């Protein structure tokens, strides 16, 4: 009796095939329905919220400039591309982007915290406090008394910014801030102060260099006083010597300072 009731193999294969086709048809219908639903206008991104501690970036301007680069809807939009579009804007260092159901984006921006100018005046390049070089309009920064860094490549900006931070307290007794720090192709450091005085520091490591700068600052006042001048009269100092330095004061010929003493010499022999 069981043998009589057994379903033939070909019938079973036919039933299995019909079931699979039905399942595939249902899956296809679900995919089509889902694709149709994802394209409904309700999921089009119509709202972009921009937040962050913004000093140089206006949220409305940001939205306007990036709007044309937003492709897709709430579900299909590539957030990595959206983040890159925001991070290409001037003054924007980092952008965090997330979806806000059903039709919005929330964008949080981090601006560059500018620490210095980079390159020659008019280059439009700045350095943030992380030592990263970026391009932005720095015309409104004149009142910030930022130093200018002149290096061989932008990769040197971080080391140069660190050197500014080390030199500034050492040179502070001179009463004039660092206007320009230059690093030449031979790794020589050269400082120009706000007063116009130039300090040739040499190409040594930071600790010997800082020690020589501190020695000059410590002894400059009595040396200048011997010449009837003050610290503010400094025009040029060459600190590339292990046992002393040479300096030029306004109205005085170049002076050698060795072992705490000083002697006049004709200009041009050094520096």
Mean pLDDT of the chain: 85
Residue of higher predicted confidence among 260 and 220: 220
Residue of higher predicted confidence among 62 and 128: 128
Distance CA 60, CA 76 (A): 24
Fold of 114-264: Rossmann fold (3.40.50)
**The CATH homologous superfamily of the domain defined by 44-111:** membrane protein fhac (3.10.20.310)
pLDDT for residue 1 is more than 60: no
Strand residues in the chain grouped as ranges (E): 47-51, 92-100, 104-111, 114-118, 125-128, 133-135, 148-150, 178-183, 189-193, 198-202, 234-238, 244-249, 255-258, 261-264
Distance CA 45, CA 69 (A): 12
Q: How many residues does the chain have?
A: 271
Residue of higher predicted confidence among 71 and 87: 87
Distance CA 11, CA 202 (A): 94
Distance CA 66, CA 228 (A): 63
Per the CB < 8 A criterion, the answer to whether 108 and 73 are in contact is: no
Phi-psi region of 12 (alpha: psi -120 to 50; beta: other; left: phi over 0): alpha
* Residue 268 confidence (pLDDT): 38
Hey, where are the domains in the chain?
A: 11-38, 44-111, 114-264
pLDDT in tens, 129-177: 999 999 998 776 765 789 999 998 999 999 999 999 999 999 999 999 9
Percent of the chain having pLDDT more than 70? 82
Q: Which pair of structure tokens corresponds to residue 79?
A: 């957030």
* Residue 266 confidence (pLDDT): 42
Residue of higher predicted confidence among 205 and 224: 224
Please tell me whether the peptide bond between 120 and the residue prior to it is cis, using omega within 30 degrees of 0.
no
* Mean pLDDT across 59-82: 87
* Mean pLDDT across 214-219: 95
Non-local CB neighbours of 198 within 8 Å, separated by 6+ positions:
190, 191, 192, 235, 236, 237
What pLDDT band is residue 42 in, cutting at 50, 70 and 90?
Answer: low
Q: Which pair of structure tokens corresponds to residue 183?
A: 């690093």
Confidence (pTM): 0.79
What pLDDT band is residue 209 in, cutting at 50, 70 and 90?
Answer: very high
Q: Which pair of structure tokens corresponds to residue 88?
A: 């290409």
* Residue 270 confidence (pLDDT): 37
């Amino acid at each position: 009796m069981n043998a009589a009731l057994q379903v033939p193999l070909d019938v079973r294969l036919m039933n299995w095939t019909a079931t699979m086709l039905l399942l595939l048809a249902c899956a296809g219908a679900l995919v089509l329905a889902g694709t149709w639903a994802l394209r409904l206008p309700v999921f089009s991104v119509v709202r972009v919220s921009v937040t962050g501690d913004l000093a140089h970036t206006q949220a409305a301007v940001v939205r306007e400039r990036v709007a044309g680069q937003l492709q897709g809807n709430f579900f299909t939009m590539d957030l990595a591309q959206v983040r890159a579009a925001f991070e290409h804007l001037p003054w924007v260092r980092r952008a965090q982007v997330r979806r806000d159901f059903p039709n919005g984006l929330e964008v949080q921006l981090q601006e560059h915290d500018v620490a210095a100018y980079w390159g020659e005046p008019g280059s439009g390049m700045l350095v943030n406090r992380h030592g990263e070089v970026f391009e932005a309009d720095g015309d409104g920064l004149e009142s910030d008394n930022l130093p200018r860094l002149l290096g061989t490549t932008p990769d040197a900006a971080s080391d140069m910014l660190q050197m500014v931070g080390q030199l500034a307290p050492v040179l502070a007794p001179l009463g004039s801030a660092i206007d320009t720090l230059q690093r030449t192709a031979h790794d020589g450091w050269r400082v120009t102060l706000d007063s116009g005085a130039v300090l040739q520091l040499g190409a040594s490591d930071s600790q010997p260099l800082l020690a020589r700068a501190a020695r000059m600052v410590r002894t400059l006042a009595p040396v200048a006083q011997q010449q009837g001048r003050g610290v503010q009269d400094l025009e040029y100092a060459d600190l590339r010597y292990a046992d002393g330095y040479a300096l030029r004061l306004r109205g005085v010929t170049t002076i050698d300072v060795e072992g705490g003493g000083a002697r006049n010499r004709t200009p041009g022999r050094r520096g």
